[in-house]
Amino acid sequence: MTERPLLLLDVDGPLNPFRDPFAALRGYTSHRMRPDIWLSYRDPQSRRARRGLRVRLHPAHGARLLALPFELAWATAWTHQANTLIAPHIGLPTDLPVIDWPEMFARDPDGLFWKTRPLLEWAAGRPFAWVDDMITPADRAWVAAHHPAPALLLRIRPGRGLRERDFRALAGWAAEVSAGR
């Protein structure tokens, strides 16, 4: 049996449409969380730190993602806390693989998004789809030139989050990759 392609998931933007003032009207629920990465930029005694970060999540996204023909993994600054803080609210397993970034928010010498190079190394030549709100044309070009397998870089607008068309694009791309093997 061949391996399924990877689906590398960012939290903020794709799963948490943090710029969408009407997310609740589209079925998202609001949660207050205190992820370590967010707290590291806050005074722990501040009102914001005590209240926590507002995170909007859609409870149906987990089932929709699990129904896709991918192996899921986290590609987020939330790192392992995506399993403990995000996964339970959307119905994903709490033991998904996580990309451990060598250095978060590092400036890339070629102007790539800080996740791009480590993500390719982590994928280790496997086909993958990556959903993130920070993907740029430079990232697409670099992945196309340096990754030997098919890759779909799907930029998600942070004011929209994952939408029906994104799920269709992921399913269609996975079907094409599987047919080409």
What tens digit of pLDDT does each residue of 116-147 get?
999 999 999 999 999 999 999 999 999 999 99
Instruction: Print pLDDT tens along the chain (181 aa).
Output: 368 999 999 999 999 999 888 888 889 999 999 888 887 878 888 888 778 889 999 999 999 999 999 999 999 999 999 999 999 999 999 999 999 999 999 999 999 999 999 999 999 999 999 999 999 999 999 999 999 999 999 999 999 999 999 999 999 999 999 887 6
Q: So what's the pLDDT on residue 23?
A: 87
Q: How much is the pLDDT for 25?
A: 87
Q: What pLDDT does residue 1 have? A: 37
Amino acid symbol at 151 = A
Give the pTM. Answer: 0.93
- The closest alpha carbon to 156, from 132, 138, 174, 139, belongs to 132
Q: What is the number of other CB atoms lying within 10 angstroms of the CB of residue 22? A: 9
Domains of the chain plus CATH, in order, are: 6-21+58-179 (3.40.50)
Integer angstrom CA distances of residue 82 from 147, 154, 165: 26, 20, 24
CB atoms within 10 A of CB 107: 8
Residues 117/93, Cβ–Cβ less than 8 Å: no
